[in-house]
Amino acid sequence: MLKYDAEDVRRLLEKGLRKQSLFSRTMNDESKAAIAYSVGLLGDKHFLGCLYELVDSKTEILRQTAAEAIRKIEHGA
């Protein structure tokens, strides 16, 4: 069984949230929304900067998911 270092996982998630794409933007935004949701469940304040950037996204699902993740992290709900 593989064991991953928590910092490696953090870097991987952050990279996914910051990823830019010229093509297949919809798939990229859906992936970012899934990562934002996961980060919200983790409750790690390390990701708040990335999430605040996503709140300004042109994509509604990404804005909503990022806002919900921020709420979960900041308020523990």
- pLDDT, tens digit, 9 for 90 and up, residues 12-68: 788 888 877 766 677 788 899 999 999 999 998 999 999 999 999 999 999 999 999
pLDDT tens digits for range 1-10: 457 677 888 8
Q: What is the pTM of this model?
A: 0.80
Q: How far apart are CA 34 and CA 62, in angstroms?
A: 9
Dihedral pair phi/psi, residue 8, rounded to 5°: -65, -40
